Structures are given as structure tokens and as C-alpha cells.
Chain A
Amino acid sequence: VKLAYYPGCVAQESGKELDMATRWVAKALGIELVSFPSFSCCGSGFIDEANEVLNVALNARNLAIAEKAGLDLLTICSTCQGMLTLANLRLGDAKVKARVDGALRPLGIEYRGTTKVKHLLQVLTQDIGLEAIRAKVTRPLDGLKVGAFYGCHLLRPADEMQWESAEEPHSFEDLLSVLGASPVYYRGRVMCCGFPIQFVKPATASKIAGHQIDDAKAHGAEAMATPCPLCHISLDAYQNQAAKAVGHALDMPVLHLPQVVGLALGASPDELGLPRHLVSTTAVTDRLRARA
């Protein structure tokens, strides 16, 4: 499997541990990542609110870069996945396409719409396959109870994302089972983390994050895992604020998707950037060490 690697802004900056873990897992599973230093930000939903057509054009440029190299595009962020997928769809509107083409053509950029946008979760569960991953597990996760947290834009709107049921997704839980974890099913797993209003009304954003962490906890989760670095910011980097908003301690380790895969495939916590988290992940790593 060879893909145009679109890490997104956060994984190149404050969420660098996600990039580290992605590269480790890709190497272990034989996924070839081709980097393009010309990729721009996907707009993260904010540029879409300020200027929809501009946002589509920025992503048409990103898609055209992968298209020119003849590659499908790999995202590691639910929001990047959503924005790039929506750009592909909105370019189906002739009026939007004409205006975007008008801006891109003078730059010699051609968008034809042949590049598929795939999130790492899809590549792992569909292209690599659960059995191939199972065969590489060297350190099963010891029945650790993990609550998957999908991130809105990977799932919804379901008729546009064209993947799995937005109400009853199961790919992440299937993957967790293969890694030796016990997936926890809870309502909050498909809910919002609050991130989009973290800079608009921080107290409300943190309350929303707190609700989802509480829900995972009430269903027995010992850790959460997310395929979205923006959810990770809300659930991990701002977890102290979420705890304040709901009025009690949360102490919930939150892993990025490739970190949880990497742990089961034998990576060290340092290789996966776990020490960079705000909430300690030693409850997870100590448990694995004790078993080994």
C-alpha cells in the first residue's frame, strides 16, 4: 500500500506524537507514506464557515497534488478526512467547480477528482485488513477496556462520508478487539468532543468533553482512543478543564489511533510519543509491562 501522506497541521506541530506513531505503524505494516511538503491546511471546518468556496479550492489544490502523483490520500485526522471528502463532493456542483477552476487554472493546477481520501482507520481495517494486523500483534492489550471515540467528521454526514453507519459504527471496535483490547460501547463514542468551540466558549467546550469522558468511564473504559488529533486536544490537553467543568477528576488516558496499534505491535512508549500527553498513560503501559 502506497499513499500520499497528509498529516494535517496538528500532527506536525503540537500533536507530533500522532505523526511519530503513524510512521512507526506504517513501517511495521508495510504502508509506504509519500510526503508532500506542498500540502496546505484542510481548513479544519473554520475556513469552511468563513468562506466555503475558498475552503473547497484549498482542498482541491491538496487533492490535485496527490492526483498528479497518482496516489490516494491518507489522512490521520477525522476533521481533515471530512474536509477533504467534502471538497471532492462539493466540486460536483458545476457552479462551485467553475469558480474553483477559475482560481486554480492560472496556477497550472488541475483537479480531476480521481483521488480517494482515506483515513488511517479505513486503511487499517479495509486495505491492510484485521487478520494481517492480528498476525503482527506481539503484545496483545491484555483485555484493556478501551472506549473508541470516532470524531464527528469521520462519520457524519453519513450519506456524504459514504463509509459506515454513523449511529452504529464498529470498525474501531473491531480493530481494538484484534489488538487484544476489550472495546467499550457507550453513547459518547459518536458524539462531539467540544473542540470547535474551544476558542469560542471554552467552558461549554470543556463541559461537552467532560460528558463524553464521563460516559466512557461509566461504561468501564480504562482508556480512550481517537482517530482525530482535535478530539485528542479536547480529551487530553484540555482534560483538566473538562474535569473542572463536570466537577470531578477524570484521569482518563487518551491514545491516538496509531498509538494503540503501535503498543500492540510492540512499539515502546517513547517511539509512540506517549510521554508528550498531558494525562499520564502509565496506567496503560504499566499494565502491558506487567503482563510481559
Chain B
Amino acid sequence: MAEETVTATFDIYRYEPGKDAAPRYDRYVLDLPPHTPVLTALLKVRAEIDPTLTLRYSCRSAICGSCAMQINSKSRLACEAAIGPELARDGRIVVEPMRNQPVLRDLVVDQGPFWDNYGKIQPHLILDPRHPMPEGRENPMTPAEVDRFKETPRCIACAACYSACPAVEADPAFPGPMALAKLYRFVVDPRDRAQQDRLVRIQTEGLWLCLRCHLCTEACPKDVRPSERIRDLKEMAIAAQGATEQGSRHAVAFKENIRDRGQLNEMKLARQTFGPIGLIAQTPQGIRIARKKPELLHAPHAIEGQDEIEKIYEALDDGKTKEDLP
């Protein structure tokens, strides 16, 4: 028996830089079963209507990571996203290339910067020559050691996180969620001998530009949860090196700030984070805000039970990270 079909309208981004004056959206209307993956529909368009439609794909099984694109403005693997739910919600399916990477043609983007950022974190084991790999056998890990990787080995490098990241969009100094999740994987690898160096380096190479907005974790089709591993890296970097960068200084200053009174002293936080010299550059904006919001300049009163806060810090603020828990 023939399967029930739905009429699906696709608006597909088309652009060939250097040839087209501007991007356009071509509309295709197809009758397809609702469970059809968007990728299958795109291949049907290419096979039957327009052989010039350009896209990247390979395995069609959500494991190669090639077909990440924006489907109705959300990062998706085209081979995984069925047309039915998209049509039910938006009435049509808008297919666009990933963001934060230049378009080469239609749905294909230049992944060069994405892979460059990955390369910079040295995504391979760095061994200590004084502790060579055991001759003639592999270097095994215990199951508990493997568990420390958390979800990071699931990453298929599809770049959905890179496409969704507002820090990548705004600042080329940020290496992106995938590179940092991969870095985490090597930092917790017991066979790697460069943990300290890796943590020290990343502090100056973009770690503290993460906004902890969790857009990457939401975009990831494999639930790698990069934002949570970036948080772990930040805590480990502070434990390894102390507060040496503007970002780590700010996190540690905030922590110390709350210890004083139990709630935030905004003015003091600015002073602690920027230091006396850095504060000068912030002063005009501070005055501008304080004219409307004079509380900015006043220290808050201490909360009731401030002594409890002090005792909690005494018990728990000992330089250990969650990774150190027995």
C-alpha cells in the first residue's frame, strides 16, 4: 500500500559567491511521506529538478557529521531531521548553510577556520619521553578513567555547535565549543602528559570568552554538552594556574566578593576584576550608569547569617575541583 504523503514546501538557500550578486531562496514543492529526512528531500531535488544544488553529505546515518545545516533556523543534521515536525511547526522548510563560516556554494561552507581551531588544541596524546608507551602492547585505561571523558568521545565534528555559538560570531579569538570539548577530552586523559601546559595555554587562547549560554549544548546532535565541559576546563585552569587572566580573575574576584557580605558588591567587583589601572577605562561608563542607578556606588549590607557563608567557604574553598572528589 502506498504511504500517505504530505505536500512539503522547501525554501533552499542558493548562492555562488563571485557569480551571484546576492543569495536567493529557491522554492521546491514535493509530495513526500512525513518521516522523510530533509537530506533525502534535498537529494531528490538534486536528482530530479536541479542538478546544481550543492550540499555536503556522506553516511546518511547521523555519524559522519557532514550534513549539518540550518533547518528552519536551527542547527540540525539534515539526515536526521524529518520533514513532518518541521512542516507541522513552521508550515514550510527553510534550508540554509551553517552560520559563522563563509559560504562556498549553496549549502556548503568553508570549514577551514573550524578545523584550524581544532588543530590548535593539539588533538592528540602528548606523551612524556621519560614515560614511554609500554613496548609491544597498548596503553590501557580503566573503565573509571574512560568515564572521565563524559560525553566528549561522541563528538562527530559536525560543527553544529560552532554554527550556533554567539562568541564565535562576535570574536575570532574564541576557538569554538567543539575545539574546547575536545581539549577537555585530552586534559582528563590519564595517558596525556601535557595537562598543565594545555590548561595554561588555553587560558590565553580564548577559554574565557565562552558565554556559558549553552547554545552549543542545545545545538549538538550527539549530546556532547560542550558548555558543561568548558565550565570544567575553567575550574581546572584556575586550580592549575590561579587567576592569571582577565576571565579567571573575574570568576575568582566574584567568588571572593560574595564571601564578604553574602551578596554582590558591584563597585568592588569592578575594582577587583579590572585592577586600579584597568578601572580607569571603565569609569566613564560607571559614572554614566550610576547617575541613574546610584546604588552601584554603595556597598550592600551583609546578609543575615553571613557567618554561615564564611564557614561554607572555609569548608569548601580549598582549591579542589569536582574532579578531585573521592
Contact = CB atoms under 8 A, between A and B. Distances in A.
Interface of A: 9-10, 12-16, 37-41, 43-54, 57-58, 61, 95-96, 99-100, 102-104, 106-107, 109, 152-153, 156-158, 166-168, 187, 190-192, 194, 196-197, 199-202, 204, 207-208, 211, 237-238, 240-241, 275-278
A125 to B, nearest CB: 20
Contacts of B320: 53
Given A46-B254, A156-B213, A204-B171, A278 B218 contact: no
A54 B167 contact: no
A12 B73 CA distance: 38
B285 A241 contact: yes
Interface in B192-246: 208-215, 217-218, 225, 227-228, 231, 234-235, 238, 246
B219 to A, nearest CB: 9
A16 B250 contact: no
A41 B214 contact: no
B292 A47 contact: no
30 contacts: A10-B266, A13-B296, A38-B304, A38-B305, A41-B263, A43-B255, A47-B258, A49-B212, A51-B317, A53-B316, A58-B258, A61-B312, A95-B326, A103-B311, A104-B312, A106-B315, A152-B214, A156-B213, A157-B214, A157-B228, A191-B213, A194-B166, A197-B208, A199-B246, A200-B209, A200-B246, A201-B171, A207-B171, A238-B285, A241-B285
Interface string B71-94: 001100000000000000100000
A201 B211 CA distance: 11
B325 interface: yes
Interface in B285-326: 285, 288-289, 292-293, 295-296, 298, 300, 303-305, 308-309, 311-313, 315-317, 320-322, 325-326
B270 A199 contact: yes
A241 B285 CA distance: 9
A15 B295 CA distance: 9
A40 B303 contact: yes
Contact of B292 (A43, A48, A277): A277
B21 interface: no
Contact of A192 (B166, B274, B308, B309): B166
A11 B134 CA distance: 59
A182 B36 CA distance: 35
Contacts of B209: 197, 200-201, 204
Given A44-B264, A49-B235, A51-B316, 13 more contacts: A9-B263, A10-B266, A13-B266, A46-B254, A50-B254, A50-B255, A52-B235, A107-B312, A152-B212, A197-B208, A197-B211, A197-B247, A276-B292
Given A10-B264, A13-B266, A168-B89, A156 B214 contact: yes
B252 interface: yes
Interface residues of B, number: 68
Contacts of A100: 316
A50 B242 CA distance: 10
Contacts of B227: 157
B156 interface: no
Contacts, number: 200
Nearest to A58: B312
B66 interface: no
B65 interface: no
A26 B212 CA distance: 31
B309 A207 contact: no
B212 A57 contact: no
A71 B315 CA distance: 28
Contacts of B308: 61, 107, 109
Nearest to B314: A103
B251 A57 contact: no
Contacts of B269: 199
B152 interface: no
Contacts of A43: 254-255, 258
B215 A191 contact: yes
Nearest to A206: B170
Contact of A208 (B211, B251, B258, B282): B211
A168 B251 CA distance: 31
Given A41-B258, A47-B258, A58-B309, A13 B218 contact: no
Contact of A237 (B217, B254, B289, B309): B289
A47 B288 CA distance: 28
A278 to B, nearest CB: 6
B263 A14 contact: no
B209 to A, nearest CB: 6
Nearest to B300: A13
B164 to A, nearest CB: 9
A159 to B, nearest CB: 8
B257 to A, nearest CB: 8
B270 A14 contact: no
A108 B231 CA distance: 31
Contacts of B211: 152, 192, 194, 196-197, 208
B114 to A, nearest CB: 19
Given A61-B308, A211-B166, A46 B214 contact: no
Contact of A40 (B295, B309, B325): B309
A16 B293 contact: yes
Contacts of B325: 53, 95-96, 99
Given A50-B235, A192-B213, A14 B295 contact: yes
A103 B315 contact: yes
Contacts of B293: 14-16, 237, 276
